[in-house]
């Protein structure tokens, strides 16, 4: 697993080990945390995945399934470092794909994003909409990475399963709006500033539901793409309401204004998840539960702030 020290990856490591699998984690701890793997039975290799294929290859020998989760997962600050998405998300994916292919890996699972739909013209958005206009460097890099994997899969190098998730919430969450809001409120319990007008409509998903899909869903063909997310959405203001309620606060809430919180923020994200549902998967936790669960975990683990 690449990115196994990260938010989602570390949960996946825990589940795979609980299933009795042998797990090798490749991570450079750029955003990953040693704390998430403390006491873990996974073999952990501290490696920068931008390394060339010959350096990566030995770590893929004897591996059945690659879960490729390592990435620059930040959407908002993409324009501050325009090469990072290309290097961390496109180049790394092409090298991991090549190493996996050379090592004879049979299954390749990739964490893509619902951001690839940009400001979607069809909502709920199905997987097979015409290739949308990209609104962030992050999404542009993820759709490019998907294309590399599609080429490997159709060439028969391995079976590739692509998951396009909405924003994921839950324990160990360390970026995104819930994290930002809790951080603001811990610093000043009397004020909360929200980017945009707070009316942005967003679908979220609990990390436990995300992991269940990564473990359970595989297509019948060599290449499959699956949306993952809650079947509903909330407004950012709703989420802010649950967060302040969970923290027992009553801050003055201000909004920056505008339909979008930042360049590339999509005002409405709701994915059509019927393809994943047809595979027997659906979310078990509501968006409200996911937000509240995240707030509780951050409150109990304030070192993360």
Ligand X SMILES: NC(=O)c1ccc[n+]([C@@H]2O[C@H](COP(=O)([O-])OP(=O)(O)OC[C@H]3O[C@@H](n4cnc5c(N)ncnc54)[C@H](O)[C@@H]3O)[C@@H](O)[C@H]2O)c1
Where on the chain is the footprint of ligand X (CB under 6 A)?
A: 3, 5-9, 27-32, 48-50, 69-71, 73, 88, 92, 111, 113, 165, 167-168
E strands in 130-189: 159-165, 167-169
Q: Which is nearer to ligand X, 228 or 244 (CB)?
A: 228
Pinpoint the alpha helices (H) of 192-235: 207-216
Separation between Cα atoms, residue 89 and residue 112, nearest integer Å: 10
Please report which helix (H) or strand (E) contains residue 111, including its range: strand 107-113
What's the min distance (Å) between Cβ of 99 and ligand X?
Answer: 13
Please report which helix (H) or strand (E) contains residue 298, including its range: helix 287-300
What's the min distance (Å) between Cβ of 111 and ligand X?
Answer: 3
CB burial string 8-37: b at 16+ within 10 A, e below: bbbbbbbebeeeeeebbbbbbeebbbeebb
* Farthest-apart Cα atoms in the chain, separation: 57
Q: Which distant-in-sequence residues (6+ apart) come within 8 Å of 270 by Cβ?
A: 123, 124, 125, 201, 203, 229, 232, 233
> Left if phi > 0, otherwise alpha if psi is -120 to 50, otherwise beta: which for 216?
alpha
Separation between Cα atoms, residue 128 and residue 146, nearest integer Å: 14
What's the min distance (Å) between Cβ of 142 and ligand X?
Answer: 7
Q: Which is nearer to ligand X, 17 or 253 (CB)?
A: 17
Q: Which is nearer to ligand X, 101 or 290 (CB)?
A: 290
Catalytic annotation, pick one of 138, 173, 223, 233: 138
Distances (CA, A) of 268 to 117, 119, 150, 209: 11, 7, 27, 21
Q: Which is nearer to ligand X, 167 or 283 (CB)?
A: 167
User: Is 226 designated active site?
Assistant: no
Q: Which is nearer to ligand X, 117 or 242 (CB)?
A: 117
Torsion of CA 65, 205, 94, 21, to 10 degrees: -20
Q: Which is nearer to ligand X, 48 or 288 (CB)?
A: 48
Helix (H, G, I), strand (E, B) or coil at 52: coil
| Main-chain phi, psi angles of 132, to 5 degrees | -80, 165
What's the min distance (Å) between Cβ of 194 and ligand X?
Answer: 18
What's the min distance (Å) between Cβ of 135 and ligand X?
Answer: 15
What's the min distance (Å) between Cβ of 288 and ligand X?
Answer: 17
Residues annotated as catalytic are 138
């Amino acid at each position: 697993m690449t990115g196994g020290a990260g938010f989602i990856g570390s949960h996946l490591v825990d589940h795979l080990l609980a299933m009795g699998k042998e797990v090798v984690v490749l991570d450079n701890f750029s955003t990953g945390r040693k704390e998430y793997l403390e006491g873990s039975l996974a073999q952990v290799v501290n490696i920068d995945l931008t390394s060339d294929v010959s350096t990566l290859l030995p770590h893929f020998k004897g591996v059945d399934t690659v879960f490729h989760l390592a990435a620059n997962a930040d959407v908002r600050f993409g324009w501050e470092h325009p090469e990072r998405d290309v290097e961390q998300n496109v180049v790394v994916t092409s090298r991991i794909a090549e190493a996996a292919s050379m090592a004879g890996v049979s299954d390749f699972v990739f964490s893509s994003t619902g951001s690839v739909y940009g400001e979607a013209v069809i909502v709920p958005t199905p997987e097979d909409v015409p290739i949308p206009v990209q609104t962030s460097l992050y999404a542009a890099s993820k759709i490019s990475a998907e294309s590399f994997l599609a080429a490997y899969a159709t060439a028969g190098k391995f079976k590739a399963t692509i998951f396009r998730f909405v924003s994921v919430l839950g324990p160990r969450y360390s970026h995104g709006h819930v994290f930002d809001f809790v951080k603001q409120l811990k610093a000043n319990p009397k004020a909360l500033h929200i980017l945009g007008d707070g009316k942005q409509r967003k679908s979220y998903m609990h990390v436990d539901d995300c992991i269940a899909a990564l473990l359970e869903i595989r297509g019948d063909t060599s290449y499959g793409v699956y949306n993952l997310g809650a079947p509903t959405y909330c407004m950012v203001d709703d989420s802010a309401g649950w967060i302040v309620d969970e923290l027992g606060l009553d801050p003055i809430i201000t909004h920056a204004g505008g339909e979008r919180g930042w360049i590339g923020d999509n005002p409405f994200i709701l994915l059509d998840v019927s393809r994943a549902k047809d595979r027997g998967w659906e979310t078990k936790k509501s968006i409200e539960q996911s937000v509240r669960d995240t707030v509780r975990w951050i409150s109990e683990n304030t070192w993360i702030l």
